[in-house]
Chain A
Amino acid sequence: MRNTWIIARTTLGDALRKRVLLVFMMVAVVTLLLAMMLTYLTAREQRTAFLALELVIILIFGTLIAVTTAIFLIPDEIERRTIYSLLSKPVQRWEFFLGKFLGGVLTAGVCLALMTLVLIVVVFLMAMRQPESALGPMLQTSAEQEPLNVAKWFQRGGQDVALVLRGAYVIFFQLVLVTAVATTLSLFVSPTVNFSLTMFLFIVGQVQFVLKAALERNELPLTKVVVGVLYYLTPHFHDFNIMGSIIHSEVRIPVNHWLFAGEVSLYGLMYALFVAMLGILVFDRKEV
């Protein structure tokens, strides 16, 4: 396992230097800041619109970063022939594969962490806008005119930061899963095909719970079986979508949010490991 970690760290260093990653990161951060221009809305409208926008941006850019990193992890090693220097050392094939996968996960994780950090700071500052005045229409004051209640600000800000962290936590495990898929697929197909395939699986994974219902309407029992099997074999990306509960945190849902987040992240991790196992089994026999 030591070698896995050593390779992962080197992979992280290599991947973070790719310029395309920096471009993605810059775009993400700039968009984040642009969203702050929604200040003309009420405090609640601003928070809703901002969180809705930013969580989707972080998910999309995080996914793009994860996929564009993962599709090149192993192909680059083969193309640049650095893989010979590695596999001629006492590094087992599974260590190499896992090390590259883990390196991809760390890369996606670092980028996600940076985007989340920016989001957290902005969200915390946004929470300074007081949502409503206790005095309100009676004394014709707007919340903006009241002196800042620091304790309430920290309470609101703290709540929102916790919500964002839960969202980022769940997004992270989506990225782990996407990285696993792309890394394993990179053993079979070119980076271009890999990108399309992985993104396709990701999008299908988001919508398949609806497709399943639509397809199951078909009367043939065979279709039902096939659809059912495919449904449970392919990763359920839609289960990770809990953004509604973060954006509208006041809506009561009869689910323990953190337990659910824990469970879905476990699902993501296990599925990723399953896909990685497939990759390991294939890579073990792959000629380089």
Chain B
Amino acid sequence: MMSPEGRRKAILLAVALLAGCWLLARDLEPKHAHYVQAQMPRREPGQRFDPLLQHSRVGNVLLDETPFHAIVPAVLGVRELVASLLWIQADSLFHRGEYGPIMDLIYRIVAIDPHQIDVYATGAWHLAYNFMDKRMILDGIRFLEDGIRNNPDVYDLYFELGYTHQDKTKDFLAAIDALSQAVTKGTSTGDPQPPAFVFMQLAHALERAGHVDEAAEQWRRNVEVAVELEKQHPDDFKYDQLVYAARHNYYLTLRRRNERRAAELELEGNGAEALKRWEDNIRLAQEMLGHYPGHDQLEQDLKRAQTEVARLRAGKINRTPPPETRLEFTVRRKAPREIEVAGTINVPLYSRVRVILRDKDYERLVQENLANAKWRHAHLTYEFENVQVRDGKFSYTFRLNRDPADMGRDFNTIYPLKSEEYEITVQFDPRLQALFIQDRYGWNGERLYATDGLKEDHTLFGIVEGRRVPRRYLEKRVILRREEIE
């Protein structure tokens, strides 16, 4: 047994230890709160998951802002585990084609663990692509935005957002915005720089948006990135290919800029400036042939440039304006919920027109109900297609009486037709065309001529050789009443 003195000392030591623990606990609490906070999803201002949490004022951030289904994993500290297990389950749902519960599931998963980057990426892909419900492209975008809000320090979701804008919404400025951020972020494994394809995608997006000068500059930087990567992988042939791709794209951008500008200048009668552009193209081709001697396409480019230089030096300037582009179309109800849009447009083979059917006030209704996906899906109708033009003709039938993804869903849930009026729009936008089609009209429709249906948008301008160029495209619209569709 301890002596009384020894016992006293032991009690004092115990009290001192407890006091020390108390002090440490107080210091640890706010620091640990950072760990807890980092696991919680960041929401849009004013947005709560659960109506039930609207008035919750428990005083603990986790309880206040965590939806019900996430509370148990959050409180037990197993958020990541539960989310991973749910994602594994979701994966099997994907493979079995059971798309119904998927949307709910992916929202739940990211509420439990907002750092599951692949859930955001794959989930958004399913929303924007797989469901083939065009209204869900917006949901995919918003899902990615949510993902970026929660994972701002890695490139992945910025890239996905940029790519989705470029591919689906065609909002190229938004794509550039996202991709510009993506190139400044590192990877989740700690690399300070994202993979090369991110840089490549940014350059493509810049070009698509008509920001040609920036696109060229970005390609130039991409060449540097590719060369650096090649040095790191000297024995891997694929990195040689990467350097070639970057260099070639850089060359093509500069070459096209020269060519297209030269065509515009010729139309204005400025042969001297047009000549300079073609002479520059000779230099560019020779420079590239220095890297890749004997390259067939480059040899052809060189010959062509030399031919054009010779022509211009000989004073043969082409001042013939391109023909006016005329777009006409009719709308016919083939059957209930089957609307045929057929028309003509004098554009080259492989050109595409975009055919859109949606509620008349679609944009406004979307903005008013941005956060309310359920409302949008219950009330809005939106379908579009990029239709190829053959022999100056095009035709497309909107079939609002079936599931576009053939998954057995009720078509009324995809095309609710709740509005009174609908707009059918047909668009020809040079920005969306293949590059060899763009050669004729310019990146921004600079050489698109039409008297009927030509639109000029000065907000979505391009920049070529330092000049602001408005976006020019053809668009015509027809309004239908619901009865004319159903």
Contact = CB atoms under 8 A, between A and B. Distances in A.
Contact of B22 (A141, A232, A248): A232
B93 interface: no
B187 A274 contact: no
A285 B245 contact: no
Nearest to B80: A52
A270 B17 contact: yes
Nearest to B186: A250
Interface string B1-37: 1100001001101100110111011011101101100
A53 interface: yes
A135 B222 CA distance: 12
A149 interface: yes
Interface stretch (B189-197, B264-272, B465-473): B189-197
Given A42-B118, A49-B87, A239 B76 contact: no
Interface string B111-123: 0010111100000
A53 B79 CA distance: 11
Nearest to A233: B18
Given A52-B80, A267-B25, A278-B14, A136 B236 contact: no
Nearest to B28: A239
Contact of A273 (B17, B25, B35, B151): B17
B77 interface: yes
Given A207-B76, A253-B38, A239 B81 contact: no
A94 interface: yes
B60 A274 contact: no
A138 B196 contact: yes
A48 B80 contact: yes
B60 A93 contact: no
B153 A210 contact: no
Contacts of A86: none
A21 interface: no
Interface residues of A, number: 72
Interface stretch (A12-20, A64-72, A110-118, A258-266): A258-266
A217 B59 contact: yes
Interface stretch (A74-82, A99-107, A126-134, A192-200): A126-134
Contacts of A236: 25, 28-29
Interface in B112-157: 113, 115-118, 151, 153-154
Contacts of B154: 250
A280 B238 CA distance: 68
B342 interface: no
Interface string A240-272: 011111011111111100001001101100110
B329 interface: no
A281 to B, nearest CB: 6
Chain A: interface secondary structure? helix
A6 interface: no
B366 interface: no
Interface in B203-247: 229, 233, 235-236, 238-239, 241-242, 245
B306 interface: no
The interface centre, meaning the residue of B25, B79, B233 with most chain A CB atoms within 10 A of its CB, is B25
Nearest to B12: A277
B84 A149 contact: no
Contacts of A284: 1-2, 7
A134 B242 contact: yes
A278 B84 CA distance: 41
Contact of B14 (A56, A232, A274): A274
A138 B91 contact: no
Interface string B235-263: 11011011001000000000000000000
B200 interface: yes
Interface in B158-193: 186-190
A17 B204 CA distance: 65
A209 B37 CA distance: 13
Interface string A202-245: 00001101101110110000000000000011001011011111
Contacts of B79: 244
A144 interface: no
A114 B258 CA distance: 67
Nearest to A40: B91
Contacts of B153: 250-252
A137 interface: yes
25 contacts: A41-B118, A44-B188, A51-B80, A53-B84, A56-B78, A131-B189, A132-B195, A141-B238, A146-B238, A156-B190, A213-B60, A213-B63, A214-B63, A233-B18, A241-B32, A242-B32, A244-B80, A247-B80, A250-B154, A250-B188, A251-B115, A254-B34, A270-B17, A270-B21, A277-B10
Closest 8 pairs between A and B when the two form their complex, measured CB to CB: A213-B60, A136-B197, A49-B84, A277-B14, A241-B77, A274-B17, A52-B80, A248-B115
Interface of A: 38, 41-42, 44-45, 48-49, 51-53, 56, 93-94, 131-139, 141, 146-147, 149, 155-156, 159, 206-207, 209-210, 212-214, 216-217, 232-233, 236, 238-239, 241-245, 247-255, 260, 263-264, 266-267, 270-271, 273-274, 277-278, 280-281, 284-285
Given A133-B195, A263-B31, 11 more contacts: A38-B88, A45-B87, A56-B81, A134-B229, A135-B196, A135-B197, A136-B195, A139-B245, A159-B190, A255-B31, A274-B14
